[in-house]
Amino acid sequence: MATKTLSHDDYTVAWISPIEVEQVAAIAMLDVEHPRLTQSLVDYNAYQLGNIAGHNVVIASLDSAGNASAATVITQMRNTFKQLRFGLLVGIGGGVPIKTSEGWIRLGHVIVSKPTGTDSGVIQYDYGKAQANGVFERTGSLAPPPKVLLNAAQLMSAKRKHFVEDPLKANLQLINTSLRDLRKYKHPGPDKDHLYRADYLHADKTLLCQKCSCEPSMRVDRGANNDDSDEEDEDDFDRFVVHRGNIAAGEKVLRNSVERDALAKTNNVICFEMEAAGATNDFPCLVIRGVSDYCDSHKNDKWHGYAAATAAAYARELFKYMPVDEVRQCGVAEPYDPALKEAIQRLEANKASNTWNNYDNTQVMNQVTGNQTFTGGQNFSF
């Protein structure tokens, strides 16, 4: 229930959940919900405000998936909530089915971005240039997560091993799966997690694997669900597992396991998703993904709910390891595009002075919302 109204400047952390299945899980993780605040004329985002472990949080959703949408939402959000320090990009993604130090990456597991070597933890794998020899060279880099987030992730990983009852599994219970509309957030069961050989394509794209002629003999045997034993442990199928490493961000939905494996090997990544590049180009974020598929032709929506829930459960727990004062001491993430900032100020000035020029304001609105139909003057698109 809403209990307290704060100002826009009281909010310091952004939680970005691109699609509705992720936003529903995110809202369930709040300790307290706050009333809505006014938004500027040029902010089209949907926000849920609240508090987790003493941190005032802005949960923002996108109207569509992809890097451009993420960039638009981030820009508008930072214009409305000017004291945001950093963000958590929380949702579902495609896992690379390999073994890490935590065992096999499976459906429902969580993958968290972590800088490795010279990489920031998020790699824009489809951005670069083709060399004369036909080799694709990645160019550019994305902003790494702030130290306070990396420290929190590391500390939580270490301390969690000492708990008899896993707090991350306790967070999952905040989603009332007894409600009809929330049943999708339950664990689908280990019999719904199948990994097929990379060279074996899905038999019928209109049907799930269980209902078409996908051959069980083409599944990869990964041993027990607990990953540490050769014996099956039916009681351990929903163990909450977190993997940390590089996450690949791109513009396309990956449904090819051969391409997945090649890209994963070349870029040293363990997860693929579609929003992080647009969000982290200039706004420091930690990317948290629940594994909902294996980026292959067998992918479906069956695991979306549970994967969104595990990602949200991890994000909630992370707040408990971030000192509130330390977050406030982080520098404010300033908008990076001075031309866009000027456009926003011009629109607000027109509104304040009641000089509503349809042509001028339409041009500015197109830029602020990422609309490509703007035709006059300098193009500020991002």
Q: What is the pLDDT of residue 70?
A: 78
Tokens 């031309």 appear where? 339
Q: How far is CA 33 from the centre of its chain?
A: 21
- Among left, alpha and beta (phi > 0; psi -120 to 50; other), residue 187 is beta
Number of CB atoms found within 10 A of residue 181's CB: 9
List average pLDDT for each run of 10 residues in the chain, which is 382 residues long: 76 93 97 94 90 98 69 87 95 95 95 89 74 55 84 96 94 97 95 74 53 61 56 62 94 84 91 84 90 83 96 99 95 62 57 54 50 35 29
- In whole angstroms, give the CA distance from residue 282 to residue 265: 27
| Domain count across the chain | 1
Six-digit token string for 128 = 């670069």
- Using CA atoms, how far residue 152 sits from 112, 296, 311, 329, in Å, is 12, 33, 16, 15
Integer-rounded Cα radius of gyration of the chain: 22
Give 3-state DSSP helix, strand, coil % of the chain, rounded to 5. 35, 20, 50
Contact 283, 78 (CB under 8 A): yes
Contact 112, 286 (CB under 8 A): yes
Provide the b/e sequence for 102-122 (b: ≥16 CB within 10 Å).
Answer: bbbbbbbbbbbbbeeeebbbb
Asked whether residue 252 is assigned to any structural domain, the reply reads yes
Asked whether residue 45 is assigned to any structural domain, the reply reads yes
Q: What is the pLDDT of residue 53?
A: 98
Q: What is the pLDDT of residue 229?
A: 44
Contact 181, 326 (CB under 8 A): no
Six-digit token string for 125 = 């794998």
Asked whether residue 375 is assigned to any structural domain, the reply reads no
Q: What is the pLDDT of residue 68?
A: 59
**CATH number of the domain residue 155 falls in:** 3.40.50.1580
Please, what is the angle between helix 20-28 and helix 304-319, to 10°?
Answer: 40
Asked whether residue 354 is assigned to any structural domain, the reply reads no
Q: Name residues whose C-beta falls within 8 Å of residue 345's C-beta, 6 or more positions apart in sequence.
A: none
Contact 314, 112 (CB under 8 A): yes
Asked whether residue 178 is assigned to any structural domain, the reply reads yes
- In whole angstroms, give the CA distance from residue 314 to residue 96: 19
| Torsion of the alpha carbons at 106, 112, 117 and 122, rounded to the nearest 10 | 100
Number of CB atoms found within 10 A of residue 44's CB: 15
Number of CB atoms found within 10 A of residue 93's CB: 27
Asked whether residue 380 is assigned to any structural domain, the reply reads no
Asked whether residue 205 is assigned to any structural domain, the reply reads no
Asked whether residue 363 is assigned to any structural domain, the reply reads no
Q: Please choose, from the candidates 254, 272, 285, 251, the residue with its C-alpha nearest in 3D space to the C-alpha of residue 127.
A: 251
Can you give the residue range of the structural domain that contains 115?
Answer: 8-195+236-338
| Residue 160 exposed, middle or buried by CB count within 10 Å (0-12, 13-18, 19+) | middle
